[in-house]
Structure 1
Amino acid sequence: MREFLTKHRELLRFAVVGGTSFAITTVITYVLKFTVLRANPVTALIIGVLVATIFSYVANREWAFRTRGGHERSHEAALFFLISGVALGLNALPQWISRYVLDLQVPQVSLFGQEVADFVSGMILGTVLGTLFRWWAFKKWVFPTEGARLRAVEPAGEPGETGRKAA
């Protein structure tokens, strides 16, 4: 098991960041959806995803992909948010289809049916689509080079030891 965890450390960290981002998205989305954005559930979802994306950038850069890089920080951030914008569209698309193409909303369905459809389409299907795209795109374009943020560090009296580069 230890070998598996070590081999897939980056993926597991990405999953933890994603799970935390999912929780952030869920809380913000439902707070907005049941208060100030009752008539705009897709907008509530988009705002929830945007807030979670800001958290996600910091957590992915500093923890999940901490040894990867290959770009200046501003270029990396621009790519991250561009890709996250595409993923946001992928995340919102299933709920938009559920609400406005399939018309799974009150009064065509019960309030419970509407909320189940919103959760399954926006929070589950949308999150899966967005997450798969992010994993692929972040490794390909945002953090493409393994080991890019490592450099030699020479502790006092110990030349040649390696350590993590301060970002």
Structure 2
Amino acid sequence: METVLKRTPEPLRSVLIKHRELLKFGIVGGTTFLVDNGVWYFLKLSVLESKPTTAKAIAIIVATIVSYILNREWSFRTRGGRERHHEAALFFVISGIAVVVNLIPLYVSRYVLDLEVPHVTRLVQEVADFASGSIIGMLLAMFFRFWGFKKWVFPDELGERRRDTGDVTRLH
């Protein structure tokens, strides 16, 4: 990340540095987006073909585990300071709520709007699934997670204590 920032021209560099956590959170989100959709499509096109919401829930859980590791060790590493088990519990509670937020648009698409075979073509079903589950649901959940992680899981006031004691070096 530092190498990229050094090569980035001003004033963009200043904006990226100012919003470093959001940028890192976005990169982690992009990575977990790929994990989520890879697992989801693998499951829903094979062993869970008739249960797309269950497949999506499993994919979200796998992506959430990856997200915790990457966010704790990279995105919010200068924040937090709670004991690891307490921090992880809060992370997974916020993420669990976000799973529900993420699944609501897919559920509405499939079971309220009936955008599934035989009511629509397979192509329409898959486009609706992707738009509702991977775009709308994921964006809603992402905003909720970013707010919840900053407020509850990795609060800055605990991070100040970590920075002051020298436990974590601050990146510039």
TM-score by length of 2: 0.87
Q: Which residue does 2:137 correspond to in 1?
A: 126
Give the match's secondary structure for 2:34: helix
Q: What's the CA shift string for 1:35-93, capped at 9, x where partnerless?
A: 00000000111111100000000100000000000421111000000000000000011
Q: Which residue does 1:58 correspond to in 2?
A: 69
The answer as to 2:12 corresponding to 1:7 is no
Same amino acid, percent of matched pairs: 55
Q: How does 1:17-56 map to 2 (within 5 A)?
A: 17-56=28-67
Q: Which residue does 1:147 correspond to in 2?
A: 160
Q: Please list every run of at least 4 consecutive aligned residues from structure 1 whose deviation after the TM superposition is greater than 6 angstroms.
A: none
Q: Give distance in 2, aligned partners of 1:15 and 1:24.
A: 14
TM-score by length of 1: 0.90
Greater relative contact order structure (CA < 8 Å, 6+ sep) = 2
Q: 1:8 to 1:91 in 2, by over 3 A?
A: same
Q: 1:91 to 1:102 in 2, by over 3 A?
A: same
Q: Which 10-residue stretch deviates more, 143-152 or 103-112?
A: 143-152
Structure 1, unaligned runs of 5 or more:
154-161
Tell me which structure has the larger Cα radius of gyration: 1
Tell me the matched-pair count.
Answer: 157
- 1:117 aligns with one of 116, 123, 128: 128
Asked if structure 2 preserves the Cα contact closer than 8 Å seen for 1:151 and 1:164, the reply is: no
- Return the structure number with greater helix share: 2
Task: Note the C-alpha offset of 1:151.
Answer: 4.6
Q: Give distance in 2, aligned partners of 1:147 and 1:11.
A: 18
Q: Give distance in 2, aligned partners of 1:11 and 1:42.
A: 29
Asked if structure 1 preserves the Cα contact closer than 8 Å seen for 2:37 and 2:59, the reply is: yes
What is the root-mean-square deviation of aligned Cα atoms in Å? 1.5
Q: What's the CA shift string for 1:3-44, capped at 9, x where partnerless?
A: 111101010000000000000000000000000000000011
Q: Which residue does 1:99 correspond to in 2?
A: 110
